[in-house]
Structure 1
Amino acid sequence: MDELQMIATLLDEEPSGEAAAAGRRRLTAEIRDRRRRPALPRLPLFGGIGVAAAAAGVAGVLLLSSGTSPRAPDPVEARPMSAQAVLLSAAKQAEAAPATGRYWHLRTLMSRPVQVGPKGNRYWVDKRSVTETWTLRSGRSASGFRDVGARPSTQADAAAWKRDGSPTSWDLGRGDTVDGAHIIVHSGPRPGEVNKVTGPGTFTVCDKEMSFAQVRALPAEPAALKDAVVDAMRNNDDGPVPAAARNGFVQQCLAGLLADVPAAPKVRGAAYRALATMPAVKVIGRTTDERGRKGIGLVLQSGDRGPVTRLVIDPRTSLVLSASVAQTGELAKLRSKSGTTVYLQVGWTDDGPRVPALP
């Protein structure tokens, strides 16, 4: 049985209680250890992927053997090999993925915490929205947006919301737009919209704006792709990346190619293979995304006391199911820097732009 079959089989097996507990303890310890380290690099987020608690939903530890079930040798020695096996198997699937259809289509459900409520009774709600983009090979594109509605983030926030009279909307004040309009957060869904993008659409790759043609021209060989990412790091639109953040920047650039942009199948495969060479990429085991879809959890460490990026991927298809980042150190106090992105649909389609439906 090859690696891909073994990994796929794991998704259909429930982890033992001991394995699940071990996975949670190990990930918690890793995050705690990173919080003790000095330096606070910036967070170069990739392509709309947000931030959330990395320890949520850990379902066990993936340790591959020659059989169909996981075993438990020394986790320190087994973790890098497990991560490499998962990533290389996903690379095979990515390289074989179809690339036919008129539009590159991306549909995501994004959740961001927002603090609301009166003085003395402040609380957090998760503002949720669906975003879609459709891009032709010519570069012309359209985008759709729809508010899904906000809900209290935790039970404590729900109690504070009730004390506030259970409001159905919140006025956050004037935004930083040209017209200075007020930002209103609603608890229920709102009408959506779809708009054509003026001029050729671009994609954010490693903090650089790239055209459709530039994205498609990225190298399809792991070492060359990694070199291109390093070059983008040195010349990105936001200025030089601090030394302490460079490893995390490269990881997130590669991860951004897995779902956010219309990279060619072989380029997506090369991104997986390049990530497989990075020892800071670890497997946390079988898990589910925020919508209950089964996958394998990966953790990308982003430097000393930097953010912890968590991906849930489906190794059968190579698709990213969800992405989140847990802030550490001083930034962990800033809940507004957190959030999550669930990938509802990614790939080529002949279906044209339309107002986003509710998830």
Structure 2
Amino acid sequence: MDDLKTVREVYGEVAPDARMEARIRARLAGEAGARTPSRYGFLRRRGAVGVGLLATAAAAAVGVAAVGIGSGSGTAPVAGRELSARSILLAAADQAAAEPAGRFWRLHMISGSGGRVDGADYTIFSPGEFDGWQSASDSETDVTYQRDLASYPATAADKAAWQRAGSPTSFKVRNNADFITYTTSDGQWTERRVTSKVKKYSAEELKQLCARAEAAAKCPPSARMSWAEKEKIASDPQRFEELLFPPTAPGKSPANKLAQGFDFLIEQPASPQIRAKAFRVLADLPGVRSVGTVKSLDGRTGIGIAAEGNMIDDSGAKFEYRVILDPETYTVIGDKETVVDGSYRGLGPGSVLFEQGVMQAGWTTDDPHHN
């Protein structure tokens, strides 16, 4: 079966996207009522980890194991014909295997989260922009650029409540055990560079940290490996699944595993062959379904692949986690987590806990820069 051909027949060809920056600015400058919330502190967490780019990776690698989820224009599918999630993911695997490698792995995305404002009756969406360049060589310098973007009320009703409260310009929102303050202004770009010397030091620091008894349980063996070492063990199916679904990660539902697969596909500087293998593993997950044509955070039309799970706290809430693929290139263009039952931190069914738009996640021969 030609999975690529079948997907194109069902979803049609997609017109070229508008320029990336136009998509970003239009999305962020639109009316507040037209937008949806995103993931709590993703850029802050990603800033600490830096997709393997930053010197603080040793501490972040353990910390991130304790943090987790609970989880252009195109044409509509041909009437009466729907593809399974498995067929779509296998098509994505075929496409990934044909992609060229490059000098840097680039991840450029917008991400944020919806959160109830402390002491108020409205929810805000707090986004940020991240642009990370991870070298394929340990001898080159990795670079990250990132900034906070203006927070805003999540829905039209939230906007009205915010206006009744006097339209405050800063908000305090709970993030796990702590509170984070967000504002209605864009932050400045920050740039961080990690040299080969710092990479080596960070790797040694991580090994020492994971050797401690109190940290060992949260440090899977893969945390102490270089990516070259991980590539070597990926030929073993069992060990590869441990890379894709770390035993120390919270949550074992199909939704959790689908989310872990998403993180792997956008964050890890894996070879095209390993990326294809990851898609094939995801294709065999039980409880994963196609939800048809959906929109990404920045307004692109995509194919949705979803699964459900329970939040990892004791709230009893259930969520749907969704990965969004481009219907022409089958690359990951976003994800989304939504409450479907119960209540989580004051957010009921239909509330979007986080949403992300991926402008680029792939190999490039360009020099590091940000748009």
1:188 is aligned, of 185, 188, 199, to 185
SS in structure 1 opposite 2:129?
strand
**Cα contact 2:222–2:243 (8 A) shared by 1:** no
Q: How many residues align?
A: 291
Partner of 1:286: 293
TM-score (norm 2): 0.65
Root-mean-square deviation over aligned CA pairs: 4.1
Q: Distance in 2 between matches of 1:205 and 1:329?
A: 32
Unaligned runs of 5+ in 2: 15-62, 207-217, 312-316
**Cα contact 2:124–2:154 (8 A) shared by 1:** yes
Q: Distance in 1 between matches of 2:146 and 2:79?
A: 42
Partner of 1:342: 357
Which has the bigger relative contact order, CA under 8 A and spacing at least 6?
Answer: 1
2:109 aligned with 1:108: yes
- Cα deviation for residue 126 of structure 1 reads 0.7
In structure 2, give the amino acid aligned to 1:316. Answer: E
Partner of 1:311: 323
Q: Distance in 2 between matches of 1:194 and 1:216?
A: 29
2:309 aligned with 1:302: yes
- Cα deviation for residue 149 of structure 1 reads 0.7
Q: Distance in 1 between matches of 2:69 and 2:132?
A: 17
For residues 176 and 97 of structure 1, do their structure 2 counterparts lie closer, same or farther at Cα, with a shift above 3 Å needed?
same
Q: Distance in 1 between matches of 2:269 and 2:186?
A: 29
Deviates more, 1:306-315 or 1:248-257: 248-257
**Cα contact 1:51–1:325 (8 A) shared by 2:** no
How do 1:1-359 and structure 2 match up within 5 A? 2-12=2-12, 69-71=78-80, 82-100=84-102, 102-116=103-117, 119=119, 121-139=120-138, 140-170=141-171, 184-197=181-194, 199-200=198-199, 209=223, 211-217=226-232, 219=234, 225-226=240-241, 229=244, 232-233=246-247, 236=248, 245=252, 247-302=254-309, 306-330=318-342, 332-335=344-347, 338-354=353-369, 356-357=370-371
**Cα contact 1:321–1:344 (8 A) shared by 2:** yes
Identical pairs, percent: 25
In structure 2, give the amino acid aligned to 1:94. Answer: A
**Cα contact 2:133–2:368 (8 A) shared by 1:** yes
Unaligned runs of 5+ in 1: 15-43, 53-58, 63-68, 73-77
In structure 2, give the amino acid aligned to 1:276. Answer: A
SS in structure 1 opposite 2:367?
coil
- Cα deviation for residue 187 of structure 1 reads 1.3
**Cα contact 2:296–2:356 (8 A) shared by 1:** no
SS in structure 2 opposite 1:122?
coil
Deviates more, 1:305-314 or 1:156-165: 305-314
- Cα deviation for residue 163 of structure 1 reads 1.4
**Cα contact 1:49–1:324 (8 A) shared by 2:** no
SS in structure 1 opposite 2:262?
helix
- The one-character-per-residue Cα deviations of 1:187-225 (angstroms, maximum 9, x if unpaired) are 132211111247227899989635333444452576663
SS in structure 1 opposite 2:228?
helix
Deviates more, 1:86-95 or 1:287-296: 287-296
SS in structure 2 opposite 1:253?
helix
Q: Which structure: greater helix fraction?
A: 2
- Cα deviation for residue 170 of structure 1 reads 3.7
Q: Distance in 1 between matches of 2:188 and 2:173?
A: 20
In structure 2, give the amino acid aligned to 1:154. Answer: T
**Cα contact 1:218–1:225 (8 A) shared by 2:** yes
**Cα contact 2:106–2:362 (8 A) shared by 1:** yes
For residues 258 and 206 of structure 1, do their structure 2 counterparts lie closer, same or farther at Cα, with a shift above 3 Å needed?
farther
TM-score (norm 1): 0.67
**Cα contact 1:313–1:322 (8 A) shared by 2:** yes
Q: Distance in 1 between matches of 2:68 and 2:300?
A: 18
- Cα deviation for residue 328 of structure 1 reads 4.9
- Cα deviation for residue 110 of structure 1 reads 0.6
**Cα contact 1:138–1:212 (8 A) shared by 2:** no
- Cα deviation for residue 159 of structure 1 reads 0.6
